[in-house]
Structure 1
Amino acid sequence: MTQALELYDMTIIGGGPAGLYAAFYSGMRDLKTKLIEAKEELGGRLLIYPEKMIWDVGGVTPIRCEHLIRQMIQQAHTFDPTFVLGQQISGLERLEDGTMLLTAVTGEQHRTRTVVLALGHGVLKMAKLDIEGAERYEVTNLHYTVQELESFHGKRVLISGGGDSAVDWANALEPIAASVTVVHRRERFGGHEKNVKRMKESSVDVRTPYVLDRLHGNVSGDAIEAVSIARVNAEGLIMEETEQLVIDAVIVNHGLRGDFGSIVDWGMDMGQWDINVNEKLATNLPGIFVAGDTANYPSKVNLIAGAFTDAVLAVNSAKLYLEPAAAKVAYVSSHNAKFKEKNKALGMAEEDA
């Protein structure tokens, strides 16, 4: 059966920024590549925040997540790699010929010579609100992400959380919502300092250290019409009586919970949320490399730009693993023959326009 499977030089597991850029750059290294994503769409963690603005990608002016995802996917298709969606890889078997057999949870198999793990923090799920009966409001006005800012126009919004996304949403909603209240169980916010300062200097009502204690439904019981918040001490215990606030929408941002699945059993040197690699982005298992949030090494840069660099290093290492005499890096695109015909096509398109 394994002989009938098409053999790839590289299989990338994960379709976020690191995986997508690895798919592009592997084409510059003449590697036959397949990318496998557990979800039914590409984009990774960025899919959770489609309207969030991204400012820190080099050479790219502020851009919405959804637009950046679209551009990364388009770039990833440049050299026609194979894309497989909706398969979560769980099994790894080394075959007698030195290749590897990857098996999905659903049973599909893939044969490859190298692997690049671009898993982010695994299959991500939003941490749900730990209040009894909260799930009944998820179809109305309890939200775990912001898909469309305008849907909150003129509404009284309460945000529970203190990370980057909670702060970003508060700043984005402040000019369009009737009111925005943020409750966070700690005095210190986890968001970028500049954004936290902007939030605190705006009309956003910031309550710390407070927690969301109760949800009060309307008469029909299908939507939240008020919430109770409570002040807490350093141990998270309620210190005083709760205060009730009338609201139109609740947004919860209590973080993400990731799951690597059975990949944790492959025998790699792992941390709680990542995989330890060397300066070549190589794991302790031959032929397996890591890129993006999954990779842990001393000089790690936790930015999208850092994920792109990880992808380049991992792909270059995989190329040298397969062909030790190969060039250490690909020629830059301005001098790379692989782009000659593509540049011609672009020139013709500009003339036609």
Structure 2
Amino acid sequence: MKPSLFDVTIIGGGPVGLYAAFYSGLRAMKTKIIDAEPDVGGKIRYFYPEKLIHDIGGIPEILGADLVADFKKQAETFDPTFVLNTRVTSVVKQNDGTFYIETENGEVHLSKTIVIAVGSGTYKMNPLKARFAEDYTSALHYHLRDLKKLRNKKVVISGGGDAALDAALMLLPIAKNVELIYRGDDFKGYEERAKTVLDSGISTHLHHEITSLYGDKTLKEIEFTCTHSGENKRIACDAIFVNHGVEVDIGNMRDWGFETEEWGISVNHEMETTMPGIYACGDVACYPRKIRIIQAGLHEGPIAINSAKKYLDPKAAPEAMVSTHHEHFMN
């Protein structure tokens, strides 16, 4: 049976894709969301469910998992179709102008327009490179989804970026002990966050790196080495949070017919790619003076949807009615 034709298919179910789905509902567009993960939420669900998010206007702070739940609830307002655990592998524009979307599992989806909101693409965590690390994989954590598992543990954090600093502060009241080890001479994270860590009493070891892990069946100790002097030290350790960055890749989207850049997809001020009918928003969208924060993506998503609406109906209003005036909410 031929699949249904949608007005817009949003590839990516993170916060930006979810808000774009809500906005497309305001524009009365038949909407589908396709995401490669088993649930929506993007990078926040995967990496930061226990982290407090601070960069959304009007929300001083909110737990990552709660923010994702709110975005999902909002996206469901106009009943879009969700297709999860499904990775898009190719997009082909057909002679009639619609798009033939094929997925890794062989499914086919049809859409009049496409909005790409995949964040930075796929993520591959850079592993801890230390002797005997492969013997203690259960003690290595690359994301913090359940802080309770680390309660009263002796935790070492390896890394100096924002995620490492955040992890140190989150674990401070939970873990028995927190040690922060970073091979650089200065932390890479925001200055204010680094200052908070340094003032917190967390033991920090700059210009050091973990070189060996030791224990019996479970991790007991780590050895770390000064990158300046070569001196070795050992400390007790039950678990390690590794934050050595990620390799990100937009994969074969580079073969879908539009122009790409090193960090994503080229768009203009209307979030239009160089392929008519395909738009991009969020971290994957590249244009001058780009800001990669959630709040910026929440602005770009509606622009992309409005561009898709005008593409389908040149006589359509340039933007959606204010939501509080929409009949769905008036009722």
TM range (shorter): over 0.9
Give the match for residue 282 of structure 1.
Answer: 272
* Structure 2 residue 202 is the aligned partner of structure 1 residue 201: no
- Using the TM superposition, give the Cα deviation of residue 212 of structure 1 relative to its aligned residue in structure 2, in angstroms: 1.2
- Using the TM superposition, give the Cα deviation of residue 132 of structure 1 relative to its aligned residue in structure 2, in angstroms: 4.9
Give the match for residue 223 of structure 1.
Answer: 218
What per-residue deviation string (whole Å, max 9, x for no partner) do you get for residues 269-298 of structure 1?
A: 212221111101111111110011101111
Which AA in structure 2 matches 1:257? E
* Structure 2 residue 207 is the aligned partner of structure 1 residue 212: no
Give the match for residue 126 of structure 1.
Answer: 125
* Structure 2 residue 324 is the aligned partner of structure 1 residue 334: yes
- Using the TM superposition, give the Cα deviation of residue 8 of structure 1 relative to its aligned residue in structure 2, in angstroms: 0.5
Q: Which moved more, 1:259-268 or 1:318-327?
A: 259-268
Q: Give the root-mean-square deviation of aligned CA atoms.
A: 1.5
How many residues of Structure 1 are paired with residues of Structure 2 in the alignment?
330
What per-residue deviation string (whole Å, max 9, x for no partner) do you get for residues 93-115 of structure 1?
A: 11121101000011111000111
Among residues 225, 228, 231, which one is paired with 1:241 in the alignment?
231
Give the match for residue 257 of structure 2.
Answer: 267
* 1:26-105 alignment runs, 5 A limit: 26-47=24-45, 48-105=47-104
Distance 2:9 2:25 in 1: 12
1:183–1:207 CA contact under 8 A, matched in 2: yes
* Structure 2 residue 23 is the aligned partner of structure 1 residue 25: yes
Give the match for residue 294 of structure 1.
Answer: 284
2:185–2:206 CA contact under 8 A, matched in 1: yes
Give the match for residue 344 of structure 1.
Answer: none
Which AA in structure 1 matches 2:271? L
- Using the TM superposition, give the Cα deviation of residue 192 of structure 1 relative to its aligned residue in structure 2, in angstroms: 2.1
Give the match for residue 311 of structure 1.
Answer: 301
- Using the TM superposition, give the Cα deviation of residue 223 of structure 1 relative to its aligned residue in structure 2, in angstroms: 1.9
- Using the TM superposition, give the Cα deviation of residue 258 of structure 1 relative to its aligned residue in structure 2, in angstroms: 2.1
Q: TM-score, normalised by structure 2?
A: 0.95
Q: Which moved more, 1:91-100 or 1:124-133?
A: 124-133
In the TM superposition, structure 1's runs of 4+ consecutive aligned residues that sit over 3 Å from their partners are none
2:132–2:212 CA contact under 8 A, matched in 1: no
- Using the TM superposition, give the Cα deviation of residue 133 of structure 1 relative to its aligned residue in structure 2, in angstroms: 4.1
Distance 2:276 2:140 in 1: 46
Distance 1:248 1:277 in 2: 47
- The percent of aligned pairs where both chains have the same amino acid is 40
- Using the TM superposition, give the Cα deviation of residue 315 of structure 1 relative to its aligned residue in structure 2, in angstroms: 0.6
Give the match for residue 190 of structure 1.
Answer: 188
What per-residue deviation string (whole Å, max 9, x for no partner) do you get for residues 22-56 of structure 1?
A: 11000011111100000111100001111100122
Distance 1:317 1:340 in 2: 26
